[in-house]
Amino acid sequence: MTSVNKNAMPIIREMLSRKDMLQVRVEKRPEGATLIDAGVAVLGGYTAGLMATRICMAGLCGVSLSSRTYGDFDLPTIGVATDQPAISTLASQFAGWEIKVGDYFGMGSRR
Q: What is the pLDDT of residues 19-47, one digit of tens each?
A: 999 999 999 999 999 999 999 999 999 99
Please report whether residue 104 resides in a domain. no
Asked if the structure places residue 93 within a domain, the reply is no
Domain that holds residue 77: 4-82
What pLDDT is attached to residue 96?
Answer: 63
Q: Please list the ranges in the chain whose pLDDT falls under 50.
A: 111
For residue 15, tell me if it sits in a domain.
yes
Residue 9, domain member (yes or no): yes
Look at the chain and report how many structural domains it folds into: 1
Q: Is residue 105 part of a domain?
A: no
C-alpha dihedral (53, 56, 61, 66), degrees to nearest 10 = -20
**Angle in degrees, 0-180, between the axes of helices 46-56 and 4-17, rounded to the nearest 10:** 160
Whether 87 maps to a domain, the answer reads no
Assigned domain for 64 exists: yes
Query: Residue 39 and residue 94: Cα distance in Å, rounded?
Result: 22
